[in-house]
Amino acid sequence: MTDHPSTPSPELVEQWRTEGFHQDYCSPFEHAIAQAAQWGADAELEACVKWIAYHPPVPDDLRAARRPKLPSLKAKALARTDAILNDPNRALLVEVRETLELNRRALEQLDD
C-alpha cells in the first residue's frame, strides 16, 4: 500500500514513531498520527499550489484534479485485455485470444 503518492515512506513512518518515544505529552502512536496528518496536508497543499500555477483556479476543476475518480471495473478489464491482446511478445493460444476478444466486445457493450 506504499505505492500511492499520499502514502509516506516506511522510513518516514519509522522516524515519526521513534520521535514519539521522546515526547512527554503524547504516545508514540499519537505522535506518528499527528505527523502523518500534517505531512499529508502539506503534500496536498503543495500539489494544489503546483496545479494552480498552470490552471485557472476553478474549484470544480481543482477538486477533479486532486480527487480523480478511479477507473471503473469495466475500464480496468478492457485495459488489461487490450494489453494482453496487443502484446506481440506473448504467444497466446488461439482459444485464449478468441475468448479475450469476445470478453472485450462484451465489456464494451456494458455501461460504466
**Do 51 and 78 belong to one domain?**
no
pLDDT in tens, 71-88: 777 888 888 788 777 877
Domain of 101, in residue numbers: 73-109
* Closest residue by Cα to residue 66 from 47, 39, 43: 47
Does the predicted TM-score (pTM) go above 0.85?
no
pLDDT in tens, 19-44: 777 767 677 778 788 888 888 888 88
In a domain, 5, yes or no: no
**Residue 92 neighbours by CB under 8 Å, 6+ apart:** 84, 85, 100
28-54 vs 10-20: helix crossing angle, rounded to 10? 140
d(CA 111, CA 43): 35
In a domain, 1, yes or no: no
82 residue type, one letter:
D
Per DSSP, 22 falls in state: T
**Do 18 and 60 belong to one domain?**
yes
Q: Is the pLDDT of residue 1 over 50?
A: no
